[in-house]
Amino acid sequence: MKIILKESVPKLGAVGDVVVVRDGYARNFLIPKDLAMKLTAGNLKMVEQFKKKESLRVMAEEEKANHLAAQIAKHEFHFTARAGKGDKLFGSITSAQIAEAMAAKLGVEIDKRDLVLEHSIKTLGTHEVKINLFREIKGLVKVIIEAEEGSEMAAEVPAE
């Protein structure tokens, strides 16, 4: 039986694919679970329209992500933190803090899980953080960590 998949099915196909399966598999599993529908002229037209809309949506999302990547590349995000000897921070700068700073500066909501940090930033200086914007579109966020006023002096003054 020829069917059109409504959802991706492992080892069978993706949404909108026309596949040939055994009649029992289609009638007893795929169609009742709303994973597929029979191949008819009307259903085929409906799927083609869906694919066109989906491709337009994907193109718009890619354009938006490319624009955002260009905006991100133009900006630097500054943080101040208490630091001790060897330019090590007493705390750390996390992906959540970077996402908040980006949202405040760019006006675009960024999910902290899109920022790729192997570990939290724990040193002063300039750091580049990768960000996943959309599918294969990635960007680099320039993060600059500076010491708070007087934090280094406090660390250098010996206790009496």
Comparison of pLDDT for 115 and 14, the residue scoring more: 115
- Whether residues 73 and 148 share a domain: the answer is yes
Predicted confidence band of residue 118 (pLDDT cuts 50, 70, 90)? confident
Q: What domain count does the chain have?
A: 2
- Whether residues 77 and 108 share a domain: the answer is yes
pLDDT of residue 155: 47
- Whether residues 84 and 44 share a domain: the answer is no
DSSP-derived 3-state class of residue 153: helix
In whole angstroms, what is the distance from residue 107 CA to residue 102 CA? 7
Instruction: Please report the beta strands in 2-156, taking only residues with DSSP state E, as ranges in sequence order.
Output: 2-5, 18-20, 36-38, 76-81, 88-93, 115-116, 121-123, 125-134, 137-147
Domain of residue 33, residue span: 2-60
Looking at residue 70, which CATH number applies to its domain?
3.10.430.100
pLDDT tens digits for range 44-81: 898 889 889 989 998 999 999 999 999 999 999 999 99
